[in-house]
Amino acid sequence: MAIRVMFMGLGPIGCAVVKQVAARKGFKIVGAIDVDPAKVGKDLGDVAGVGRKLKVKVSADAAAALRAGKPDVVAHCTVSSIKAAVPQFEAILKARVPVVSSTEELSYPWRANRAAAKKIDDMAKKAKVAVLGTGINPGFAMDALPIVLTGICQDVQKVQVDRVQDASIRRLPFQKKIGATLTPDQFAELVKTKTVRHVGLTESVSMLADALGFKVDRITDEIQPKIATETVKSEFLTVEPGQVCGIVQDGVGYRKNEPVITLHMEAYLGAPETYDEVRIEGSPNLRVRAIGGYHGDVATASIVVNSLPKVIGAKPGLHTMRTMPIPSFFRGTVA
Asked if residue 136 binds a copy of itself (CB under 8 A), the reply is yes
The closest alpha carbon to 167, from 101, 103, 236, 229, belongs to 236
Q: Which of residues 154-193 bind a copy of itself (CB under 8 A)?
A: 154-156
Asked if residue 85 binds a copy of itself (CB under 8 A), the reply is no
Asked if residue 324 binds a copy of itself (CB under 8 A), the reply is yes
Asked if residue 287 binds a copy of itself (CB under 8 A), the reply is yes
| Smallest separation, CB 242 to a copy of itself (Å) | 35
Asked if residue 128 binds a copy of itself (CB under 8 A), the reply is no
x/- letters, 207..226, toward a copy of itself (CB under 8 A) = ----xxxxx-----------
Nearer to a copy of itself, 59 or 101 (CB): 101
Q: Residue 38: how many CA atoms within 13 Å on its side-chain side?
A: 5
The closest alpha carbon to 158, from 84, 209, 83, belongs to 209
Asked if residue 27 binds a copy of itself (CB under 8 A), the reply is no
Stretch that binds a copy of itself, among 68-76, 97-105, 125-133, 290-298 (CB under 8 A): 290-298
| Smallest separation, CB 102 to a copy of itself (Å) | 13
Strand partners, 7: 32, 75
Asked if residue 28 binds a copy of itself (CB under 8 A), the reply is no
| Smallest separation, CB 333 to a copy of itself (Å) | 6
User: String of b and e for 275-297 (b: at least 16 CB within 10 Å)?
Assistant: bbbbbbeeeeebeeeeeebbebe
Asked if residue 20 binds a copy of itself (CB under 8 A), the reply is yes
Distance CA 169, CA 177 (A): 14
| Smallest separation, CB 14 to a copy of itself (Å) | 15
| Smallest separation, CB 145 to a copy of itself (Å) | 7
Counting residues that bind a copy of itself (by CB under 8 A) gives: 58
Asked if residue 50 binds a copy of itself (CB under 8 A), the reply is no
Strand partners, 258: 255
CB 200 within 8 A of CB 133: no
The closest alpha carbon to 73, from 50, 52, 99, 96, belongs to 99
186, 195, 229, 323: which one binds a copy of itself (CB under 8 A): 323
Asked if residue 248 binds a copy of itself (CB under 8 A), the reply is no
The closest alpha carbon to 277, from 257, 259, 258, 262, belongs to 262
CB 316 within 8 A of CB 324: no
Nearer to a copy of itself, 185 or 258 (CB): 258
Q: Residue 29: how many CA atoms within 13 Å on its side-chain side?
A: 26
Q: Which amino acid, residue 299?
A: A
Helix 12-23 with 296-312: angle, nearest 10 deg? 60
Residues that bind a copy of itself (CB under 8 A): 20, 23-24, 136, 140, 144-145, 147-156, 211-215, 282-292, 294-295, 298-299, 301-303, 305-307, 321-335
